[in-house]
Amino acid sequence: MNRRKFLTFMGSAGVISALGTAKVAKAGVHTFPYYPNSYGVLHDTTRCIGCRRCEEACNIVNKLPKPEKPFADTTVTHTKRRTSAYAWTVVNKYQVNGKDVFRKLQCFHCNDPACASACFAKCFQKQPDGSVTYDGSQCVGCRYCMVACPFYVPGFQYDEAFDPLVQKCTFCEPRLKEGKLPGCVEACPMDALTFGRRSDLLNLARARIAENPGKYVNYIYGEHDAGGTAWMVLAPAAPAPQPADTKDAPKETQPHEDEFTQLGLDRHLGSQPMGELTYGALGAVPMIVAFWPVLFGGAYAISKRREARYKAEKEAHIEATKNDLAAAVDAAVRKIEETQGPGAADTARRAMTEALQAREAANVAEHGEDK
């Protein structure tokens, strides 16, 4: 196969595959179906006291291993703990405008989960009841879900030698099916967690903000963040700013970090689901996996076939030439035998054969062995 042919193949293959990929990308701003009756939980951080009862209940309800430090020890909330495969929810202490505020962290059960968008084994599913469930039977342990999650929630069973799984809050889906509240919600002694339909919770949150002026930041975290989440958070408002007593006091130019950022919640996730950034590219993956091997395999097979045919033709041609030469030498030797006797004929044959061999050797030395 020569250079020109190769470039033609590559070019056409590129165009075709590009067309295919473009079609896939256009086919979808893919969105998970929005479930209007899905459930959610509203976490009111002004009520949370950091007692860790939710953690304890989660541990018992989900039959997780006992932690090293007992749940009665509230000092562990002072470090910024993360959820893991064996602690599906954690409560941490944050400083909001100089005051201690506790916040619970668990899977937010996104409306359009990033973990599901990243999982090529389709282990994660957004259920109509609002939960994002995980089915480990297909899991290959790639942990792309952990990279994709904007809240760093899924945990991996690193200590499992055989079949380690990704673990995270299940929204107590089995309990919901039995008509029970999630373990943590039931255990909260402050009603800092309110369970309900997501649409009702939004109204409830707004009513709370309106009825208690100055108590809450006028923002419901999770209403739109990361495309909307089933678990939402209310944050306490800053206390009224101290009145400046002098006119010439320098105006406060320090940018005020908003309360949610101080609570460790990312306000820069945008209102678009994370998955929408990757559905186009990731949607092309199956196409590439299925189509490209056929395309390039085919191109390779065609060129290989051509080469084989070309070689066969060439060999046939060489054979014919050799036969012609041998016939010519024979004819010449017979002529010499008739005219000058057998001795001269032998000498001539030897000389001609040597000359031919020398020429062939020179040819090989010059062009190399024909492959």
Does 61 interact with another protein (rule: CB under 8 A)?
no
Among 68, 159, 178, 211, binds another protein (CB under 8 A): 211
Among candidate residues 11, 20, 106, 12, the one with its CA nearest the CA of residue 291: 20
Among 81, 143, 208, 267, binds another protein (CB under 8 A): 208
Whether 113 contacts 132, CB under 8 Å:
yes
Rounded Cα gap, residues 76 and 344, in angstroms: 111
Beta strands in 79-151 (DSSP E): 90-96, 99-105, 124-126, 132-134
Whether 176 contacts 128, CB under 8 Å:
no
Eight-state DSSP code of residue 193: E
Does 368 interact with another protein (rule: CB under 8 A)?
no
Among 140, 190, 316, 351, binds another protein (CB under 8 A): 190
Q: How large is the greatest C-alpha to C-alpha distance in the chain, in angstroms? A: 136
| H-type alpha helices, 235-278 | 259-262
Does 338 interact with another protein (rule: CB under 8 A)?
no
Q: Would you say 211 or 338 has its CB closer to another protein? A: 211
Stretch that binds another protein, among 46-54, 122-130, 170-178, 269-277 (CB under 8 A): 46-54
Does 51 interact with another protein (rule: CB under 8 A)?
yes
One-letter amino acid identity for 153? Answer: V
CB-count burial class (<10 Å; 0-12, 13-18, 19+) for 275: buried
* Strands 231-234 and 90-96, bridge-based pairing: unpaired
Contacts (Cβ under 8 Å, ≥6 apart) of 157? 85, 164, 165, 166, 167
Does 81 interact with another protein (rule: CB under 8 A)?
no
Q: Would you say 60 or 362 has its CB closer to another protein? A: 60
Q: Would you say 33 or 250 has its CB closer to another protein? A: 250
Q: Would you say 98 or 243 has its CB closer to another protein? A: 243
Q: State the nearest-atom distance from the C-beta of 256 to another protein, in Å.
A: 13
Rounded Cα gap, residues 69 and 29, in angstroms: 46
Q: State the nearest-atom distance from the C-beta of 86 to another protein, in Å.
A: 23
Q: State the nearest-atom distance from the C-beta of 50 to another protein, in Å.
A: 7
Q: State the nearest-atom distance from the C-beta of 209 to another protein, in Å.
A: 12
Q: What is the DSSP string of 342-353?
A: HHHHHHHHHHHH
Among 1, 20, 32, 47, binds another protein (CB under 8 A): 47
Stretch that binds another protein, among 121-129, 185-193, 314-322, 330-338 (CB under 8 A): 185-193
Whether 102 contacts 91, CB under 8 Å:
yes
Does 200 interact with another protein (rule: CB under 8 A)?
yes
Q: State the nearest-atom distance from the C-beta of 212 to another protein, in Å.
A: 6
Task: Indicate the length of the chain as a whole number.
Answer: 371
Q: State the nearest-atom distance from the C-beta of 40 to another protein, in Å.
A: 12
Does 240 interact with another protein (rule: CB under 8 A)?
yes
Q: Collapsing DSSP states into helix, strand and coil, what is residue 304?
A: helix
How many residues sit close enough to another protein to count as binding (CB under 8 A)? 27
Does 50 interact with another protein (rule: CB under 8 A)?
yes
Among candidate residues 277, 273, 286, 275, the one with its CA nearest the CA of residue 21: 286
Does 60 interact with another protein (rule: CB under 8 A)?
no
Rounded Cα gap, residues 167 and 65, in angstroms: 13
Does 204 interact with another protein (rule: CB under 8 A)?
yes
Among candidate residues 84, 254, 248, the one with its CA nearest the CA of residue 167: 84
Whether 303 contacts 5, CB under 8 Å:
yes
Q: Would you say 244 or 355 has its CB closer to another protein? A: 244
Q: Would you say 211 or 369 has its CB closer to another protein? A: 211
Among 189, 298, 341, 342, binds another protein (CB under 8 A): 189
Q: State the nearest-atom distance from the C-beta of 32 to another protein, in Å.
A: 26
Among candidate residues 94, 105, 84, the one with its CA nearest the CA of residue 41: 105
Does 244 interact with another protein (rule: CB under 8 A)?
yes
User: Which residues are at the interface with another protein (CB under 8 A)?
Assistant: 47, 49-51, 74, 181, 188-191, 194-196, 200-201, 204, 207-208, 211-214, 240-241, 243-244, 247
